Structure 1
Amino acid sequence: MKAIQFGAGNIGRGFIGALLSKAGYHVVFADVNKEVIDKINEDKKYTIHVMDVECEEVVVENISGVISINDEVLQEIKESDIITTAVGLVVLPRIAPTIAKGIQLRKEAGIKTPLNIIACENAIKASSQLKAEVEKCLNEEEKAYLEEFVGFPDCSVDRIVPPVKSENILDVVVEKFYEWNVEEKAFKGEIPAIEGMNLADNLMAYIERKLFTLNTGHAITAYIGNLKGYSTIDESIADEKIYNVVKNAMKESGMGLVEKHKLDQEAHFKYIDKIIGRFKNPYLKDDVSRVGREPLRKLSDSDRLIKPLMTAKGFDLDVDNLLLGVGAALHYKNEEDAQCVKLQELIKEKGIKCAVAEVANISDDELLERIEKAYEDVLAI
């Protein structure tokens, strides 16, 4: 069995690729980083360091690597049983033409073995987005082949894998917790048996539970932590004032989920406690700059700050702490982050209300005024 993992970064190696290898697949990592790919082909293994209350080391073997922009990746796609990605949402359109060419080769060769492609990105319906990009590169006959033999199950992924420098560039540090929920009905053919992959029939509830809880809380912790001069997530969440805002914001977003997806409130609040416990992990040393990067994306109306805010507000629920999180994000400054620089230029040029209206697609003037007030109020935390 062969799997291709597009993206040989920390998530690709420390999470998805490792699960595929454990399930018995030969995992081909496809990436543009020649140093990493050469090292994979040289060592044919790497080590995952699980850093938590109980630490362990997991050796991942049965792997190889290929440069994702070279033609040799097409043969790998032709021969693969499953394809996964962990490249970042903005990169999906760039790898779509390559995947499309691989699918064309499968059609030309008369291959009727189902292929499932799962985009494991921090986004809603990333696989569906990738499918749409792939279809742009196919003619009508090829699209028909894709519909019959190629599945694009959407998924939600959850594991904190911070960038940690080690002697071996392939080794990865991860937390013990992980969750990979995949849309069961979207698979083509027999569903692969992969330990750690949870098949879900109501995927949107899982996706939004993770987005509104881990991603929302993580981002707010990072933005307020940065504002108060902390450098890591565990330092930030140890501040009682930050902890209170973050937990209350997660409860506000959680109540929106309870109303929308009819979740069990008590069970969800226990899930919130578990997530905050992960933020406190002192072994990960997760930088606030990593978690807070790309604020324009994180302030968009489909992402971790605005979507839970609008969902909760839509049910007439309290959103005061979510607003403080948005206010903190608007203060975020990092000269090395192009989105951050652009956001601050936009605020300077247009002011808070107009900048947020543009970035977050908000037209409610009363809400914009509350965000403007939260931008000031968050400085007092």
Structure 2
Amino acid sequence: MRVLIVGAGKLGCGYLVPLFLGAGHEVLLGCHTSAIADRIRSVGGWRVRVTGEPPEEVHGVGTAAVGTTDLDEVVAAADLVVLSVGVANAARVAPHLVPGLAARRGRPVDVWVVENAECAPRVSEAFVHTAAASGARLPPVGVAGAVARVAVGRGSWHEPGVPEFVGDAARRLTVDARPLRRAPPVLPGVHTTDQYRAWLREKLFVYNAGHALAAYLGWLRGHRTIDAAIGDPFVQPVVAGALLEARRAILAAYPGLLPGHGVDHSAVHGPVADVLARYGNTELADPVTRVARDPIRKLAAGDRLMGPVALLSGSDHRLPAHFALGVAAALLYGYGDEAVQAADASAHRLRQLLDERGVLAVLTGVCGLAADDPFAVAVAARYHGFVFTDDGVRFPPAAPVPGPAAPPPDAMSEWRKQLLGQVAR
């Protein structure tokens, strides 16, 4: 089988390419720029390492840049196309595939969209709109979402030398069976499902939610990697509490979730313990700033932080207190840190919004909460309640308790700057 994988990032190079190569398929890698495509060709390959195992060499992968006639030819001949370019880029890359799809002359093809969001509908719409605007005729295209369980924490073509992509052993991929036009290839750890949204939410609202919370809370504590953050006795109980909240909400929303795949999904504590162990993988050394980046997207309604909160609100009358503390930490991410502000436009914009409009306005405009929502009120209280000392940040309690009033709004900006100046030390 000829497989085109579009996306030369961590997931593409660290998981998807080795997955198909290992099963004996011919793989070509679509790259964002000609410079990256040329660099991959010049070095001849890269290394992939699963933590706990020796690295393996990846060779024999051709490259082509997105938007070139070379890629058009590959799309026209491919038996399967796999997109893994990031949530924000999936619909932007899709129009560049239309010339190659039109050149298939009616031969059907499937496109797997491997992202931590429901991007497949947007990709499909981009195909249709681009084809209509250009007069191109599309073949039958099955655009299917796919969710990868693996975490690839390190590896980049922007680093010098031959990169090594390092990921954990959770090498599983779930593909939405409903849109597929062709029988999928048999691959280790890959299966199809008619309950794709449940699988996506299980990954996004549990694993990704806890991952993000560990990053935001860990950043406040001065940690550089996720494994260090989750080992912090202040951080771990909050993350574990949020994972338990999210896991219970998922199981309530999807009874009998994902049966028959070797995991007892009727349990709550077992999967949560497994996730915490994955966060603590010291070999992965996943950078906090990588996991925390783009906080506005992660705080949006329906994404990894607010999505579980919405589920919990529908299934339980109790306030998700651990999420309230974690969301407050996300709002504080990057404050007073020039390096974070310069590297992460989303974190910079979030700081601007907080300074200009205040925390409740951000919770309304970014997170989609009503200003009088009890969860919004709880987040605002915790946002104002973090205490910073010379030996690290002290979190307000996860359960609401009486305490001193927060400083008045007009004093809040300077108060936060004074406190957060201690974090930089």
TM, length-normalised to structure 2: 0.82
1:28/1:58 CA distance change after superposition, 3 Å: same
Native 8 Å contact 1:21 1:62 kept in 2? no
- What is aligned with 1:101? 99
Query: Is it true that 1:243 corresponds to 2:236 in the alignment?
Result: yes
State the alpha-carbon separation in 2 of the partners of residues 377 and 310 from structure 1: 24
Deviates more, 1:160-169 or 1:251-260: 160-169
Q: Secondary structure at the match of 1:255?
A: helix
Residues 86/43 of structure 1: CA separation in 2 closer, same or farther (3 Å cut) = same
Equivalent residues in 2 for 1:189-338 (5 A)?
Answer: 189-262=182-255, 263=257, 266-318=266-318, 319-333=320-334, 334-335=340-341, 336-338=343-345
Say whether the 8 Å CA contact 1:158–1:178 is kept in structure 2.
yes
Whole-Å separation in 1 of the counterparts to 2:84 and 2:66: 13
Structure 2 gap segments, 5+ residues each: 258-263, 335-339, 388-393, 396-425
Residue 257 of structure 1 and its aligned partner are, at CA, apart by 0.6
Contact 1:116–1:150 at 8 Å: present in 2 too? yes
Corresponding residue of 1:85: 83
Residue aligning to 1:358: 365
* 2:155 and 2:163 in contact (8 A); partners too: no
- Could you tell me which amino acid in structure 1 is paired with residue 89 of structure 2? V
What is the DSSP-based 3-state SS (H/G/I as helix, E as strand, rest coil) of the residue aligned with 2:81?
A: strand
Q: Per-residue deviation at 1:213?
A: 1.1
Instruction: From the CA coordinates, give the structure whose radius of gyration is larger.
Output: 2
Q: How does 1:20-35 map to 2 (within 5 A)?
A: 20-35=20-35
Letter matched to residue 17 of structure 1: V
Mean Cα deviation higher: 190-199 or 322-331: 190-199
* Structure 1 residues 153-173: Cα deviation after superposition (integer angstroms, max 9, x where no partner): 111112211234776434311
* Amino-acid identity (%): 25
Is the 8 Å Cα contact of residues 204 and 303 (structure 2) preserved in structure 1? yes
Gaps spanning 5+ residues in structure 1: where? none
Letter in 2 for 1:371: V
Root mean square deviation, CA, Å: 2.1
* Conserved 8 A contact 1:151-1:188: yes
In structure 2, distance between residues paired with 1:270 and 1:378: 31
The CA deviation at 1:96 is 1.4
Contact 2:296 2:346 in 1 (8 A): yes
Counterpart of 1:332 in structure 2: which amino acid?
Answer: Y
| Counterpart in the other structure of 2:56 | 58
- Residues of 1 paired with 2:54 and 2:268: CA distance? 29
Deviation at 1:364, TM superposition (A): 5.2
Number of the residue aligned with 1:119: 113
* Structure 1 residues 378 and 55: alpha-carbon distance in aligned structure 2, compared to 1, 3 A threshold: farther
| Aligned equivalents of 2:332, 2:251: Cα separation in 1 | 30
Q: Tell me the secondary structure at the aligned position of residue 56 of structure 1.
A: coil
Which residue, out of 169, 174, 177, partners 2:170?
177
**Aligned AA for 1:175?**
D
| Contact kept? 1:19, 1:196, Cα under 8 Å | no
Alpha-carbon shift at residue 182 of structure 1 (Å): 0.6
1:340 aligns with 2:368: no
When residues 265 and 81 of structure 1 are mapped into structure 2, their CA distance, relative to the original with a 3 A threshold, is closer
Q: Secondary structure at the match of 1:181?
A: strand
Cα contact 1:25–1:62 (8 A) shared by 2: no
- Would you identify which runs of 4 or more consecutive aligned residues in structure 1 move more than 6 Å? 140-144
Residues in 2 aligned to 1:143 and 1:370: alpha-carbon distance in whole angstroms: 52
Deviations along 1:30-52, one digit per CA (max 9) or x if unpaired, are: 1134443224334543321122x
Report the CA distance shift for 1:151/1:142 in structure 2 as closer, same or farther (over 3 A): farther
SS at 1:281's partner residue?
coil
State the one-letter code of the partner of 1:269: H
* Contact 1:45 1:62 survives alignment (8 Å): yes
Superposition deviation, residue 67 in structure 1: 1.2
Describe the SS at the equivalent of 2:3: strand
Amino acid in the other structure paired with 1:227: L
8 A Cα contact 1:157 1:180, kept in partner:
yes
TM-aligned CA deviation for residue 357 of structure 1: 0.3
CA contact (8 A) 1:216 1:304 kept: yes
Change (3 A) 1:16 1:309: same
Contact 1:21 1:61 in 2 (8 A): no
- Note the C-alpha offset of 1:60: 2.7
Q: Tell me which protein shows more helix as a share of its residues.
A: 1
Q: Deviations over 1:340-365 (max 9, x none)?
A: 01101101111100111000111251
Q: Which residue, 366, 374, 377 being the options, matches 2:382? A: 374
Instruction: Give the SS at the match of 1:329.
Output: helix
Specify the SS of the correspondent of 1:370.
helix
> For the residues of structure 2 that align with 1:257 and 1:274, how far apart are their CA atoms?
16
Which has the higher mean CA deviation after the structures are superposed, 114-123 or 369-378? Answer: 369-378
Question: How high is the TM-score relative to the length of structure 1?
Answer: 0.92
1-structure distance, mates of 2:152, 2:89: 19
Contact 1:2 1:27 in 2 (8 A): yes
C-alpha distance in structure 1 between counterparts of 2:280 and 2:83, whole Å = 28
Contact 1:222 1:236 in 2 (8 A): yes
- Report the more deviating stretch, 189-198 or 32-41: 32-41
Q: Which amino acid aligns with 1:79?
A: A
